Amino acid sequence: MGGDTGKSSSLVHLMVIILCLVAFGFSIAAERRRSTGEKFPDQATNSTYCVYDSDVATGYGVGAFLFLLTGQSLLMVVTRCMCFGNALVPGNSRAWSIIYFASSWVTFIIAEACLIAGATKNAYHTKYSHVVYAENWTCDSLRKGVFIAGAVFVVFTMILNLYYYMYFTKATNQAARKNNRANSNVGMTAGYP
């Protein structure tokens, strides 16, 4: 997880960045490909339907949700969710790791909520046609910016996760050095004959 140098693993940093950037890309793609509806008159029944285009944004939204979930899960497994494993040494690094841990979970939950809500709402409009008998109406569609809000919180989550992992590793390595120092003094008393 980083050795005795006090540095965090580059592989974990790289994986978290890649997974979050892919989630960000899927979020942007989902926003650009939101389904839109058009009025379609049916002459046979003398009613008007909303006909929606492709359902691609739903897949992109779910993909972004899963990639972000994978990145968060990877980091929580590596750090043992900060609840299990060795205790962190009290100090600056521990305080910052707790702050970044809590903040990253808040932004993660907001991002996931935006992504899954956008995907669900987009899928609903694509799958079902609505019969409308009123004159002045428009076809419902997903509001602009839902997936963009998810993308913004994906970036916030990525940044907070990187700082959390960096400070968590510092606090863990400080604890390891403290234990090594304490263990090196044991058995050092010299007995004279």
What pLDDT, on a 0 to 100 scale, did the predictor assign at position 59? 92
Tell me, what's the pLDDT at 17? 96
pLDDT category of residue 144 using cuts at 50, 70 and 90: confident
Check pLDDT > 50 for residue 5.
no
Q: What is the pLDDT of residues 156-186, one digit of tens each?
A: 999 999 999 999 988 887 655 555 554 545 5
Q: Which amino acid is at 19?
A: L
pTM of the model: 0.77
pLDDT average, residue stretch 123-128? 60
HEC assignment per residue over the chain? CCCCCCCCCHHHHHHHHHHHHHHHHHHHHHHHCCCCEEEEEECCCCEEEEEECCCHHHHHHHHHHHHHHHHHHHHHHHCHHHCCCCCCCCCHHHHHHHHHHHHHHHHHHHHHHHHHHHHHHHHHHHHCCCEECCCCCCCCCCCCCHHHHHHHHHHHHHHHHHHHHHHHHHHHHHHHHHHHHHHHHCCCCCCCC
Could you read off the pLDDT of 150-163 as tens digits, one per residue? 999 999 999 999 99
Alpha carbons 168 and 65: distance in angstroms, whole number = 25
User: Residue 77: its pLDDT value, please?
Assistant: 92
Mean pLDDT of the chain: 81
32 vs 192, higher pLDDT? 32
**170 contacts: CB under 8 Å, gap ≥ 6:** 6, 8, 93, 97
13-54 pLDDT, tens digit per residue, is 999 999 999 999 999 999 998 877 777 777 777 667 777 777
Amino acid occupying residue 129: S
- Model confidence at 65: pLDDT above 70: yes
Going from the C-alpha of 174 to that of each of 81, 83, 141, the distances in angstroms are: 18, 17, 53
Whole-number pLDDT of residue 120: 87
**Count of other CB atoms within 10 angstroms of residue 124:** 14
Percentage of the residues of the chain whose pLDDT score is greater than 90? 44
